[in-house]
C-alpha cells in the first residue's frame, strides 16, 4: 500500500521534472538572439513545416466546407431557412473547425516529422557532435523549428477557413441553389472580425505553441533507439491531439462562453 | 536554383495566408469589427423584458443604433431595467421617445425599437426612457384570448 502511494508520488515527480525540462528547453530555444545567418534555416523549416502541409490542409478544408454546406442545407431547409447556411458554415469553420482540424492535421503531418527528425539526430549523435563543435543544438535545431511552427499554423488556419467557406459555397450555392447574395450577406452579418476571426487566430497560435513544444520536447528527450523514436513520435501525436482538444474547450469557454 | 524555389514557395505560402486573412476580414466578416466606438448609456424601464438579453440590438426606424448592455431589476419600481449603449453619432433622440421590445419574425430574437418623439431636448448619457412597451409574451396573449372567448359565451 505504502509502495503504491510512493509509486504515485514518484510518477508525479518524474512528470514534474519532465515538464520543467520541457519548459527550460523552450525558454532557451525561444529567447535566441536572432541573427541574419539563422534566416535560411528558418526558411528551410517554414518550407518543411508549412508549405509541405499546405496540400493536406487545402484538400481537407475543401471537403469539410463541402460537408458543412451539404449538412447545413439539409438541416436548415427543413425549417425553410437555407439562406442561413453561409452563416453556419462560416461561424463553424472560423470559430472551431479550422483551428482544431488544421492543428490536428498539423500535429500528424508536421509534429510527428519533427519528433522523428530530432529523435534520429539524437540517436545518430548529431546533436552531441554539434555540442562538441560548441554549437548549441537548442539554437541551431530547436529554435527555427519552433518559430516555423508558430508562424505557419496561423497562416494555414486562415487559408483553411477561406477554402472551407468556398467549399461550402460550391455545394450550397452552385449545386443546391441557395442564392449567392444571401450566402455571403447572412455570413457578413453574423461574422465579426474581432470576435470570430481573431479569436480563431488566437486559438491557432495557442495550438501552434502546444504542438511545436510537445513535438520538439518529445524528439529532444526521446530514448535514442529505434523503439524510442517510434514511441516518442506516437506520444507527440497523442499528446498534441489531447492538448489541442482540451485547450480548445478552455479557450472556447473563455471566448464565447460568458455571453449570457 | 533549388534554394530560390524554396524561398519562393515559402513566400507564396505567407502571401496566401495573409491574403486569406484579409479575405476573411473583408468578404466573410464584411469589415464588421466590434469597434469600441464612442457610446453613451441610457436605460429604460419595462414591465416585462422577457427574452431580452445583453447584445440585443437597439434600432431606430429599423436601423441599428446601439445594443443592450445589461438587463436587471430596478429595486425601487421592481420593473425590468434595461441598460443600452447608443452610438454617439446618434445624438438626436428626443426625451419623449418611447422604447418597445419587438420580435424579429414570429420566433426570432428580441430587440428594442425606439420611436422618436417631438420634444427638442434630446436624451443624454444616464437618461431613462419612461414611455415603454413591454415584450409580447405569447402565453399571456393566449390566456387573455381564452378568457375573452369564455366571457363572450
Average pLDDT over residues A218-228: 91
- Shared domain for B64 and B135, answered yes or no, is yes
What does the pLDDT look like over A149-180, one tens digit per residue?
999 999 999 999 999 999 999 999 999 988 88
**Count of alpha carbons within 13 Å of A105, Cβ hemisphere only?**
25
- Shared domain for B29 and B102, answered yes or no, is no
All cell numbers assigned to A204: 491557432
Q: Would you state the pLDDT for residue A260? A: 43
Q: Are A68 and A164 in contact (CB under 8 A)?
A: yes
Q: Would you state the pLDDT for residue A106? A: 95
Q: Which residues of chain A have a CB within 8 Å of the CB of B29?
A: 188, 191-193, 196-197
- Shared domain for B20 and B91, answered yes or no, is no
- Shared domain for B13 and B65, answered yes or no, is no
Q: How many domains is chain B partitioned into structurally?
A: 2
**What is the domain extent for residue B103?**
39-142
Mark out chain B residues that contact chain A at CB-CB < 8 A: 3, 6-7, 9-10, 12-14, 16-18, 20-21, 23-25, 27-34, 53-55
- Closest Cα partner for B88 from B123, B53, B52? B123
Q: Which of A47, A158, A196 sits opposite B21 (nearest CB)?
A: A158
CB distance B32–A191 less than 8 Å? yes
**Domain assignment present for B147:** no
- Shared domain for B91 and B116, answered yes or no, is yes
**Domain assignment present for B126:** yes
**Domain assignment present for B150:** no
Q: Chain B residue with minimal CA distance to A45?
A: B10
- Closest Cα partner for B29 from A87, A200, A180? A87
Percent of chain A with pLDDT over 90: 57
Order the strands of the B98-103 sheet from edge to edge: B128-129, B39-46, B80-87, B63-73, B57-60, B110-115, B98-103, B132-133
What does the pLDDT look like over B8-31, one tens digit per residue?
888 888 899 999 988 888 888 776
Q: Which of A47, A50, A94 sits opposite B24 (nearest CB)?
A: A94
- Shared domain for B81 and B137, answered yes or no, is yes
Q: Which of A50, A184, A188 sits opposite B32 (nearest CB)?
A: A188
What does the pLDDT look like over A15-61, one tens digit per residue?
899 888 888 888 887 777 777 777 888 888 899 898 999 999 999 99
pLDDT band at A181 (very low <50, low <70, confident <90, very high): confident
Q: Would you state the pLDDT for residue B39? A: 84
- Shared domain for B2 and B43, answered yes or no, is no
- Shared domain for B16 and B61, answered yes or no, is no
Residue A87 to chain B, least CA–CA distance (Å): 9
**Domain assignment present for B95:** yes
- Shared domain for B91 and B128, answered yes or no, is yes
- Shared domain for B23 and B85, answered yes or no, is no
Residue B6 to chain A, least CA–CA distance (Å): 7
- Shared domain for B28 and B59, answered yes or no, is no
CA distance B153 to B150: 6
H-assigned helices in B46-137: none
ipTM of this complex prediction, to 2 decimal places: 0.78
**Domain assignment present for B151:** no
CB distance B34–A161 less than 8 Å? no
Q: Which residues of chain A have a CB within 8 Å of the CB of B28?
A: 90, 94, 161-162, 165, 187-188, 191, 197
CA distance B61 to B88: 17
Q: Which residues of chain A have a CB within 8 Å of the CB of B53?
A: 260
Q: Which residues of chain A have a CB within 8 Å of the CB of B54?
A: 259-260
What does the pLDDT look like over A183-215, one tens digit per residue?
888 888 888 888 889 999 999 999 999 999 999
- Shared domain for B13 and B58, answered yes or no, is no
Q: Would you state the pLDDT for residue B115? A: 87
pLDDT band at B122 (very low <50, low <70, confident <90, very high): confident
Interface test with A, best of B17, B51, B68, B69 (most A CBs within 10 A): B17
CA A251 to mean position of chain CA atoms = 14
**Domain assignment present for B24:** yes
**Domain assignment present for B153:** no
Beta bridge partners of B102: B111
What does the pLDDT look like over B52-110, one tens digit per residue?
877 788 888 888 888 888 888 989 888 889 998 888 888 888 888 888 888 876 666 78
Amino acid at each position: 500500500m505504502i509502495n503504491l502511494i510512493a509509486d504515485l508520488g514518484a510518477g508525479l515527480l518524474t512528470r514534474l521534472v519532465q515538464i520543467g525540462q520541457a519548459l527550460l528547453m523552450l525558454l532557451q530555444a525561444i529567447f535566441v538572439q536572432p541573427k541574419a545567418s539563422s534566416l535560411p534555416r528558418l526558411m528551410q523549416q517554414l518550407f518543411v513545416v508549412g508549405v509541405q502541409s499546405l496540400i493536406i490542409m487545402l484538400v481537407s478544408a475543401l471537403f469539410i466546407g463541402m460537408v458543412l454546406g451539404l449538412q447545413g442545407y439539409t438541416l436548415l431547409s427543413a425549417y425553410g431557412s437555407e439562406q442561413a447556411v453561409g452563416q453556419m458554415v462560416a461561424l463553424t469553420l472560423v470559430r472551431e473547425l479550422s483551428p482544431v482540424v488544421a492543428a490536428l492535421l498539423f500535429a500528424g503531418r508536421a509534429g510527428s516529422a519533427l519528433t522523428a527528425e530530432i529523435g534520429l539526430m539524437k540517436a545518430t549523435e548529431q546533436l552531441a557532435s554539434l555540442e562538441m563543435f560548441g554549437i548549441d543544438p537548442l539554437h541551431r535545431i530547436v529554435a527555427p523549428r519552433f518559430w516555423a511552427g508558430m508562424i505557419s499554423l496561423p497562416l494555414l488556419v486562415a487559408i483553411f477557413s477561406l477554402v472551407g467557406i468556398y467549399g461550402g459555397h460550391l455545394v450550397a450555392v452552385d449545386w443546391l441553389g441557395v442564392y449567392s447574395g444571401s450566402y455571403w450577406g447572412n455570413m457578413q452579418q453574423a461574422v465579426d472580425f474581432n470576435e470570430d476571426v481573431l479569436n480563431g487566430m488566437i486559438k491557432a497560435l495557442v495550438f501552434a505553441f502546444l504542438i511545436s513544444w510537445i513535438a520538439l520536447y518529445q524528439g529532444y528527450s526521446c530514448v535514442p533507439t529505434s523503439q524510442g523514436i517510434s514511441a516518442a513520435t506516437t506520444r507527440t501525436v497523442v499528446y498534441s491531439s489531447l492538448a489541442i482538444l482540451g485547450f480548445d474547450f478552455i479557450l472556447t469557454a473563455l471566448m464565447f462562453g460568458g455571453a449570457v | 536554383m533549388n534554394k530560390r524555389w524554396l524561398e519562393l514557395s515559402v513566400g507564396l505560402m505567407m502571401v496566401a495566408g495573409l491574403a486569406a486573412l484579409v479575405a476573411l476580414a473583408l468578404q466573410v466578416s464584411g469589415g464588421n469589427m466590434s469597434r469600441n466606438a464612442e457610446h453613451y448609456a441610457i436605460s429604460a424601464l419595462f414591465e416585462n423584458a422577457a427574452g431580452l438579453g445583453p447584445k440585443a440590438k437597439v434600432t431606430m426606424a429599423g436601423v441599428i443604433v446601439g445594443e443592450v448592455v445589461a438587463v436587471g431589476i430596478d429595486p425601487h419600481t421592481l420593473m425590468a431595467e434595461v441598460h443600452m449603449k447608443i452610438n454617439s453619432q446618434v445624438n438626436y433622440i428626443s426625451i419623449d421617445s418611447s422604447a418597445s421590445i419587438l420580435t424579429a419574425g414570429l420566433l426570432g430574437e428580441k430587440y428594442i425599437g425606439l420611436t422618436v418623439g417631438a420634444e427638442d431636448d434630446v436624451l443624454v448619457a444616464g437618461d431613462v426612457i419612461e414611455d415603454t412597451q413591454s415584450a409580447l409574451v405569447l402565453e399571456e396573449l393566449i390566456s387573455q384570448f381564452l378568457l375573452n372567448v369564455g366571457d363572450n359565451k
